[in-house]
Amino acid sequence: MTNAARHSRAASIRLRLEAAAGRVTVTVADNGRGGARMIAGGGLAGLSDRVSALGGALRISSSATTGTCVEAALPCES
């Protein structure tokens, strides 16, 4: 959310938390200018490393027309 607030120039940011089938998924999406990408040493790469260390996966989609969506899926015991 910090990156979205700082860099995207978004009018809105959505946060979604969902738990199902032994996983918890956190999604942060904005309607900003897009362009987010994972680069070595960058904040999204660091986030990906932390999510991976917990056995999860990080997915990023970002375009100038739809904004950015970052989704972290993590294993979670019931």
DSSP helix/strand/coil, 47: helix
Domains, the chain:
2-75 (3.30.565.10)
Rounded distance, CA 37 to CA 26, Å? 18
**Cα dihedral 8, 13, 60, 52 sign:** positive
Which tens digit of pLDDT belongs to each residue from 30-72? Answer: 999 888 888 999 889 999 999 999 999 999 999 988 899 999 9
- What integer pLDDT is reported at residue 12 of this predicted model? 93
Hey, which bits of the chain come out as E strands? Answer: 13-20, 23-30, 57-63, 67-75
Q: Are 72 and 52 in contact (CB under 8 A)?
A: no
In the predicted model, what is the mean pLDDT of residues 15-40?
A: 93
Terminal C-alpha separation, the chain? 27
